[in-house]
Structure 1
Amino acid sequence: MFYMNMNAVMAMIGMIIILALTRWWPHNKRYLLLAFNLCFLLLFSKKLFLFYIVYTVINYICFLWLCYTKKWRKGGFIALIVLNVAAVSGIRLLGMEASEHPLFDAVIALTLIYNVLKVIDSHYFAYFFGKDAKAKITDYMNYILFVPTFTSGPILKFRDFMADTKKPYRVNADQVEEGIKRIILGLFKKLVIVTWMTDIFHHVQDQELYTQQSIFLMIWFYIMLFFDFSGYSDIAVGFGRLMGYTIPENFKKPFQSPTLTQFWRNWHATLGDWFRDHIFMFFSRQAPTRWMGAGLSILIMVLIGLWHGFGWIYFFYGLYHGIVIAIETLLGKSTVNKKKVSRAYFLGRCALTQAIVTVSVVVYSGSTDTVLKIYRGLLNWPF
């Protein structure tokens, strides 16, 4: 979202230049970056700034408590997770009406959806590693408030971010060139391709829909969504790496995924990784059976659906993907090794996976009326 504002882009470019000029100072990534993150949020929205100061400090205190406490450890950990989930769920239930409340705005609702996942990751790390997980408040605030990934990810892992924080700022000429290319590519996707594709999508959608138009809209929206999401990720990766942090890739050739299980490891990869790390691995630490794996897959996908939005279309979207992944798990077909199967079989599985995704991805349009109109159009034969 910030990347659509030229002032925000110029501010980030300026911060990168300052970090490069002060690379002789081993703590420039800690203190200068924190000052930048705080000033950026303050200038963007005073409500956003105040909310995140309070939210981050409270969670940091809880994080330290988890690092050192020996009493009520498990109960406190569960309570912290529940409270953070309740906070984002409350805003989800309120929807955009939260923006009409004097204490909230739409940006808080948007950013909390991503940042609560980072907070929970830090609490997990503190709970399982105790004192070894401790971090300074400056580093913790930078982790939560890191501007390049603040509104839409990729979702950073606490351990990886802290490891990068301890490294001095080192960005060579090749990294600068690569980072700039990623930013330009992302901006081209967002400002040119997505804008053009959105106009065509709305033009077709406004017409009476028949089977062929609905199929076209599903495929068109899927490709448009890829350019939209991957474009934002390209920009975030470029700016983040130029600031000295290793931002994980969010899209890893998802169109070449031969199973839905592998698709979710390649599409919005950091989100799928987060749910696997914090739910699947937590409940299946003792060699899960296929049935347990299938059940957890359904739970995870339903949660991912609801994470995108509280509504029946998102619930059924997650349930649909969860059931397909569960079937793949039960049949032992979760992965396909490209080197061990024929090219025709591999491409056939990729095509099947893309078809499964295509018929459901239109729910991301955010409008139930649009989704239902497209699905009804499938049954509207032109003959």
Structure 2
Amino acid sequence: MFYLNMNAIMAMLGMVVILMLTRRYPNNKRVLTLLFSVCFLLLFSKKLLVFYLIFTLLNYLGFVYLCRTKLWRTATFLFAILANVAAVFIGIRFFVMGIFQNPLFDTIIYLGLIYNVLKVIDAYYFAYFFEKKGQVPLLDYSNYILFIPTFTSGPILKFRDFMADSKKPYTVNAALFEDSIKRIVLGLFKKIVLVTWMTGVFNDVLQNDLHTHQSIFLMIWFYALIYFDFSGYSDIAIGFGRLMGYTMPENFKRPFLSPTLTQYWRNWHATLGDFFRDHIFMFFSRKTPSRLTAAGLSLLIMVLIGLWHGFSWLYLLWGVYHGLLLALENLFQLSTVNKKKSSKTYFYFRCFCTQALVTLAVIIYSPDHEAVLRIYRGLLNLPSF
């Protein structure tokens, strides 16, 4: 969310210049990137910085303890995860109580915290399975949590990959620099130009009486809107992250050419799907699961993803809807389609069916739940109440 502020953009570009000028010094990106993150948060909100310094330090202490302890490891591991989930609700409650007054703080505390809690959980998994071998310095751990390019909107960084990058010297060649700048410009164009225009069109149509064709249009239009919005943020984050010397995972991998929902969720917000899939399957099914187990875990994962987006009945229903579809794909062995072994007609027909199923529920991402219900009533030609 920082990317709509030109001062933030200029600050990150300035940080990239400093890293390039100091690239001959060992550990320049480890030290300077953390200093930049701390100063950035300090200028944005002193209370936000204090919150995250405490949050990071407490979790680092828990992380080190889990790496070293042999006593009650599983209980400690589960307690640490539950405590962080509770921190999300406490942090949001602080905003509701008016403790934080920054006009953008609602977005930063909500989105930033729910993304950073996932990173913290990934670090705890690493500590749980690797024990003493997984321990890292506080400098690198803090860098991982506070890394500004991915602070509020992802992509979700894997602890192991980020620590591996931290050990490498800062290197950005001409090709990487050019590609990263192009990604940043593309992301800004999506977010500032396309999303702004598309939001205006969406709101104009929404003000009218809705019938089936208007509701279908709004669903498809909103689907495209959130794609440009979120992929735009991802483009900017990936560009700046790479310019700061870290490998950034792709978050969108041609999701519209996914012939099944299973493949779709590996291509749309890929790092979120990977997180839940890796951590749920890793913990509950370390061996290859049966079809019935895979179906049940798919339902659980999608319900959790739904509640991660928002703790409401609509998001719960969204999770159940996608979870049941994924469960059916697993039960009937329809979770993959090999493009090379299928006819083009069949492959693109499956892609169309997948997109149709996604479009039916995508409007739930809208923060205006009253508008969501209006669109569904219009789709079914139901009267307003």
Is the counterpart of residue 34 in structure 1 residue 48 in structure 2? no
Amino acid at match of 1:74: T
List runs of 5+ in structure 1 lacking aligned partners: none
Note the 1:65-214 alignment, pairs <5 A.
Answer: 65-91=65-91, 94=93, 97=96, 100-102=98-100, 105-106=105-106, 107-214=108-215
> How many angstroms does 1:167 deviate by?
0.2
The alignment-based identity, stated in percent, is: 64
Cα distance, 1:307 vs structure 2:
0.2
TM-score (norm 2): 0.96
Q: Is the 8 A contact 1:304 1:318 kept in 2?
A: yes
2:46 is aligned with 1:22:
no
- Give the C-alpha shift of residue 238 in structure 1: 0.2
In the TM superposition, residue 377 of structure 1 has moved relative to its aligned partner by: 0.4
1:54 & 1:108 partners in 2: Cα distance?
14
Whole-angstrom distance in 2 between the partners of 1:320 and 1:133: 38
Amino acid at match of 2:192: L
What secondary structure sits across from 1:359 in the alignment? Answer: helix
Where do 1:250-269 residues align within 5 Å?
250-269=251-270
The Cα shift of 1:49 comes to: 0.2
- For this pair of structures, how many residues does the alignment match? 380
Q: Distance in 2 between matches of 1:253 and 1:95?
A: 38
Alignment CA distance shift 1:296-1:257 (3 Å): same
**CA separation of 1:10/1:88 partners in 2, compared to 1, >3 Å: closer, same or farther?**
same
TM-score (norm 1): 0.97
* C-alpha distance after superposition, 1:291-330 (max 9, x if no partner): 1110110000000000000100000001100000000000
**Hey, what's the Cα distance between the residues in 1 that align with 2:215 and 2:95?**
29
| 1:48 alignment partner in structure 2 | 48
- CA distance 1:327–1:123, shift in 2 (3 Å): same
Distance (whole Å) between structure 2 residues aligned to residue 103 and residue 156 of structure 1: 29
> For residues 65 and 29 of structure 1, what CA distance do their matches in structure 2 show?
27
Contact 2:184 2:240 in 1 (8 A): yes
Q: Separation in 2 of the partners of 1:158 and 1:328?
A: 31
- Counterpart-to-counterpart distance in 2, 1:360 and 1:213: 16
2-structure distance, mates of 1:174, 1:191: 26
Q: Take 2:276 and 2:268, find their aligned partners in 1: how far apart are those partners?
A: 13
CA 1:103/1:83 → structure 2, altered by over 3 Å: closer, same or farther?
Answer: farther
Distance 1:329 1:189 in 2: 35
CA shift for structure 1 position 89: 3.8
- 1:41–1:95 distance in 2 versus 1, CA, 3 Å: closer
RMSD: 1.5
Letter in 1 for 2:26: P
Q: Does 1:285 align with 2:286?
A: yes
Identify which range, 285-294 or 342-351, moves more after superposition.
285-294
Q: What is the letter of the counterpart of residue 331 of structure 1?
A: F
Distance 1:67 1:103 in 2: 37
Cα contact 1:254–1:267 (8 A) shared by 2: yes
Q: Report the CA distance between 1:97 and its aligned residue.
A: 2.0
Distance 1:219 1:267 in 2: 16
Deviation per residue, 1:193-252 (Å, 9 max, x gap) = 000000000000011001110000000000011000000000000000000000100000
> Where does residue 322 of structure 1 map in the other structure?
323
Name the counterpart of 2:242.
241
Q: Is the 8 A contact 2:94 2:100 kept in 1?
A: no
Instruction: Please give the alpha-carbon distance, in whole angstroms, between the structure 2 residues aligned to 1:46 and 1:54.
Output: 12
| Conserved? CA contact 1:33–1:142, under 8 Å | yes
CA contact (8 A) 1:211 1:381 kept: no
Other structure's SS at 1:248 match: coil
Q: Residues 92-122 of structure 1: CA distance to partner in whole angstroms, max 9, x if unpaired? A: 6x49625x23599422222101000000000
1:136 and 1:55 map into 2 onto residues whose CA distance is 16
Q: Answer whether contact 1:261 1:325 (CA < 8 A) is retained.
A: yes
1:380 to partner: Cα distance: 2.2
Q: How far 1:368 sits from its partner (Å)?
A: 1.2
Q: CA deviation at 1:90?
A: 4.3
2:2 matched to 1:2?
A: yes
Q: Aligned partners of 1:115, 1:17: CA distance in 2, in Å?
A: 26
2:380 is matched with which residue? Answer: 379
For residues 334-353 of structure 1, the aligned pairs below 5 Å read 334-353=335-354
8 Å CA contact 1:47, 1:103 repeated in 2:
no
Q: Which moved more, 1:287-296 or 1:341-350?
A: 287-296
